[in-house]
Amino acid sequence: MGVEDGRKHELVFAYYVTGHGFGHATRVVEVVRHLIDAGHDVHVVTGAPDFVFTTEIQSPRLFVRKVLLDCGAVQADALTVDRLASLEKYSETAVVPRDSILATEVEWLNSIKADLVVSDVVPVACRAATDAGIRSVCVTNFSWDFIYAEYVMAAGIHHRSIVWQIAEDYSHCEFLIRLPGYCPMPAFRDVIDVPLVVRRLHKPREQIRKELGIGEDVKVVILNFGGQPAGWKLKEEYLPPGWLCLVCGASDSQELPPNFIKLAKDVYTPDLIAASDCMLGKIGYGTVSEALAYKLPFVFVRRDYFNEEPFLRNMLEHYQGGVEMIRRDLLTGHWKPYLERAMTLRPCYEGGSNGGEVAACILQDTASGKNYLSNKVSGARRLRDAIFLGYQLQRVPGRDLCIPDWYANAETELGLRTGSPTDEISDDSFLVDSYQENFEILQGDLLGLPDTVSFLKSLAELDVAYDSGKNTAKHKMRERKAAAALFDWEEDIYVARAPGRLDVMGGIADYSGSLVLQMPIREACHVAVQKIHPGKERLWKHAQARKLAKGEGSTPVLQIVSYGSELSNRGPTFDMDLSDFLDGEQPISYAKARNYFAQDPSQRWAAYVAGTILVLMKEKGIRFENSISMLVSSAVPEGKGVSSSASVEVASMSAIAASHGLKIPPRELALLCQKVENHVVGAPCGVMDQMTSACGESNKLLAMICQPAEVLGLVDIPSHIRFWGIDSGIRHSVGGTDYGSVRVGAFMGRRIIKSVASTLLSQSLSSNGTTPDDSEEDGVELLESEALLDHLCNLSPHRYEALYSKMLPESLLGETFLEKYTDHNDPVTVIDKKRNYGLRAAARHPIYENFRVKAFKALLTSATSDEQLTALGELMYQCHYSYSACGLGSDGTDRLVQLVQEMQHSKMSKSVEGTLYGAKITGGGSGGTVCVIGKNCIRSSEQIFEIQQKYKNATGYLPVIFEGSSPGAGKFGHLRIRRRNPSNKVNV
C-alpha cells in the first residue's frame, strides 16, 4: 500500500536531522519525499545545506529550518573520529544550552501545529516532543548513546552524564523504525524493521556515462569519502591502466591528474554510483545502502572509533559486496590489487530498497492516530545501566566483520600457495583429531595446559582442505584464510604462552613504587612465530603487490594475524617491511614508531606485537634479517582490566626471542615489554602487568615492589582462600584519560611533597645554630629523604598526614603547576596546561595502598580464622573506595562491590558461616573487573554465580567470571614444533 492510499487528511511533520554528515540527510530526503507526495507538510530541522533537500524535492510543502541540535561525531580527518572533541562539541551544542533548546523547540512545535516529531536521530527532539504533548518516532540504524558510550571511556567520567541524558531522551520516543545494518539500541523498547532507505535514480547508467564521455569499456571507480584525508594528493599511478576515478568532495583548488574527474559539490551521487564499476570510500549508511541497492562492489577503508561501522561492514560483506583496503595502501596509492579484487565480486543483495516509502507509511499512520506500540511499558525512564553497562562490548556472534574475505594467497606464478576468496572452511572437513597427529614437539613441555593443546590443534587445522560445499562461522573462515599463508610447514614454529593477571592488591599504586600482589589467571595469549628467509615467505596479495610496486627484492617482511578482531572492531591483519623500523642503519625512535602505528587506528593493536621487535632492536641491539610470520590468539578478553595487552606483549616477545635464539630472563623480558607499552603504544602503565604475565606461577601471588621491578617472591594462596574476578562489562583502558590524569596527579603530588619537605628542611637547619639532639637529627634525616622522595610509596601514611596532606590542594590546573614546579618528572605522561587535575586523592591513594598491601601480605600468612578473612576483605573494600576518590570508579564496579557486601552481610550469611569477605576494583579502574575474596568452598562459588545473575538482572549484562590460575611465560618457556609429514598436506 502506498502512502497516498493511507492518507486521511493533511498532516504536519517535524523531521529533525542529526548534524553528523550528509548520509542522514540523504536518507531523510527519501522519507520526506514520500510524505510530501502524499500531500503532507514536512518541516526539516537540519544543519545540512539546503541543496541536499531541494535538489530532490521542489515543493512548497517542504520547509527547511537551519538549526543544529546535535553535532554527531567530530572528525579529525576524513577517516578519524576525535572522541574527546565529539563529546565536548556535543556538550557545547546540546548540553549547555539544553533548557533554552527545549523551550525554543516546544514553542516552535506548537507554532507549526506538528502532528508528529520524527528524529534521525536527534536525542533532544524526542524530549521536546513529549514536553509539547506530541508523539515522536525515531528512524535510524544507530543511536548516539551507543556511539558515545565507548568515547566516554576514553574521555573521562565527567562526560558520562551525556550518555545517560541521550538514553533518557530517546526513551521518550514511542518506537523505533529500524534500518538494516543496525547497532544495538536498548533505549528503544518497541521496534519496527523496514528495508533499506535508498535514493532513487534520476538517469540510467548509459546516459550518465554518455554525459561524462566515458565508454562502457572504461572501468570507473567513484571516490566517495565525504571529504578527503588532509594533505592528500591524488596521483595518476594510483589507478590501474584504463581506469577513471570520479572524485566526490574535492576542494575547488585541488588539482587532479587526467584520470581523475572532479565532481560538483551538489552532484546527484546515486546516479554516478550506479554508473560506476566500484566505489572507494569509508563506510556509512548512505554509501553502504546505495552500494548494495545498485550492486556496486565497495572498496572500503575502516574508520576508527565509529561504532556503527562493524554492523554496516557485516551487512556489506554478507552480501558479498565489500573489499577492505588498508589505510596505508589508500594513502600511498597501492589501489590496484583492491580494485582488481572488487571486479571479481558479485554483490547479491536482493532485499527491498523501498524503506523510504515503507517508513513514510508508518509515520503517516502514526500521525493519524494509529498505535504501533506493543504491550510493553513505554515512556520516560532512566536507562543508565542498560546503556552504559548492558551492551558495550556485547556484539552478536557473526554480526561483526573481522578478516576481509579476500585475504587469499598470492598467485601461483609468484611461487606461492593459491586460494579462492569464496572458499569456506568446514568444521567437518578437518583431517585431524588432535595436535599429536600433526606436530612433533622438538623442545618444551605442554605442562598439561588444555588451552595450549587447543592452540596447537587450531594450528593444525590451518593446513587442511577448504570445502566450499560446507559452511562454518564466516569470521572463523576468514581468520583461517588469512592465517593459512603465514607458515612454511616444513620449518620449525615457535610457540609462547603468557597469561593475563588479576590485580589482587596494588593496582594503580604500581607506578608510585608500591608493593603489589598479582595472580596470573587461567586465560592466556598464545603466539606462534616463524622466521622465514626473505623471498620465501607467503605474502598476501596486497602485500605482494606493494612489494612489486616498490621494486624491492628479497627484503624481510613482518606479517601478523590476530584472532578475535570481531570483538573490538579492529583490523585483523598487519604487515610491514621490517626496514620501516630503520632510519638508515639505526632503529627509528620510539616517537616515530608511535606515529607509524597511529596512521591507521584500526591496526594500532599491532604496536603491542610488532613493537616488541623494535624494542629488541633498540634495547638489545638485535638485527632481524629474516621475515617473521606471527599468529596471535588470545583468550584474555580486551577491556576488562585483566592485562590483555601485557599478555600479548609478553607472549609476542617470548616467541620472537625463542625463534631467534635469544635467552632473556623473565624479569628483563617484562621490563622490555613495559617499554613496548609505554614508548611504542604510548600507554602510561606501570610494570606489574608484564611482570605477572612473565614471572607469575599458578595458584600463587607474585609479590613485587615496583621500584622499578623488585620481585620479592611468590606468596602461596592459603588453601582456605580463593580469589575470583567478575567483569563489570564497562570497557577499561590504561590509555584512557582518567587513568592518565590520576597518574599525573600522583606525580604532581610527589613533586609538591618534595618541595614542601625541602622548605621544612631549610627551616629546620636555619632555625638554630645549636647542636641538634638525636631526635632532631632523625627529623632532619627524614626530611632529607622526603626532599629526595623517589616514589610516593616510600612515604609512610603517618608522615603524610602529619606534614603534607594539608599542603596538597584538592586539584590544580596544569598550567598553574608548571609555572611553579616546571615538571612533574614522569617520563610517560604529559601535563595538559588547560586540564584541572585531581591531586590530593591521587597522591594519597598510593601512600595508603602500599600500607594496605603490606598488611594484606602479612595477613595471608597469619592463622586461619574468620577475623583473618574479614580483615583481608576490609583492606580490599578500603582500596576500592580510594579508587573512587581518585575518580577511577564506575557504576558497574560499584554495583558489583555492593552486591558482594550485601551477600556478606545478609541474614543468610550471618546465620551460617560467611563465605565472601571483600571486593575491589582492579588495575587501571574506570570499569574493568572486580576482584573478590572468599572461602575456598562450594557455597562461595554459588554466591559468585548469584551475584552474576543479580548483576545481569539489574543491567542486562551477564558478567564474565575469572577463576583459576596458570603459569607465567617464564615458567612455560616455549615450544619448538614441526609439522609431521608436511608433504601430505592439502594446499588451499
Does 727 participate in catalysis according to the annotation?
A: no
Give the helix/strand (H/E) hosting 844: helix 840-860
Provide the CA 238 distance to its chain's centre, in angstroms: 31
At residue 642's C-alpha, the angle toward residues 639 and 644, to 5°, is 65
Count of Cβ atoms closer than 10 Å to residue 948 Cβ: 19
For the chain, counts of helices (H) and of strands (E): 33, 32
The b-or-e profile of 222-259 (16+ CB within 10 A means b, else e) is: bbbbbebeeeeebeeebbeeebbbbbbbbeeeeeeeeb
β-strands 219-224, 278-282 pairing: parallel
Encoded amino acid at 382, one letter: R
Return the closest-CA partner of residue 452 out of 974, 906, 3, 103. 974
930 in Cβ contact with 897 (< 8 Å) = yes
Answer whether 851's CB lies under 8 Å from 344's CB: no
Pair 726, 929: CB distance under 8 Å: yes
Cα atoms in the Cβ-side hemisphere of radius 13 Å centred on 842: 30
Please list, in sequence order, all residues whose beta carbon lies within 8 angstroms of the beta carbon of residue 50, skipping any fewer than 6 positions away.
64, 66
Q: Are 448 and 698 in contact (CB under 8 A)?
A: no
* Residue 119 to residue 172: CA distance in whole angstroms: 12
Of 132, 201, 191, 183, nearest in space to 359 by CA? 191
What stretches of 431-473 show up as alpha helix (H) in DSSP?
450-461
Of 385, 689, 727, 891, which is the active-site residue?
689
| C-alpha span between 356 and 367 (Å, rounded) | 16
Residue for grid cell 573494600: 877
DSSP letter at 197 equals: B
Contact present, 322 and 349 (Cβ < 8 Å):
no
Q: In what order do the strands lie in the sheet with 191-193?
A: 62-66, 41-46, 12-17, 116-120, 136-140, 175-178, 191-193
3-state DSSP assignment of residue 245: strand
Q: What does the radius of gyration of the chain's CA atoms come to, in whole angstroms?
A: 30
Please list the residues that pair with 116 across neighbouring strands: 13
Q: What are φ and ψ of residue 80, in 5° steps?
A: -125, 125
- Which residue spans within 197-321 are E strands per DSSP? 219-224, 243-247, 260-262, 278-282, 298-301
Q: Which helix (H) or strand (E) holds 15?
A: strand 12-17
For 120, 568, 927, 975, the CA distances from 731, given in Å and listed in that order, are 27, 11, 6, 33
858 touches 885 (CB < 8 A): no
Distance from C-alpha of 383 to C-alpha of 205, rounded to nearest angstrom: 48
Helix axes 21-37, 285-293, angle to 10 degrees: 60
DSSP string, 505-557: E-GGGGGGT-EEEEEEEEEEEEEEEEEE-TTSS--BHHHHHHHHHHT--S--E
> Cell triple for residue 357?
516509502
- Strands 243-247 and 582-583 turn out to be unpaired
* Catalytic sites, residue numbers: 689
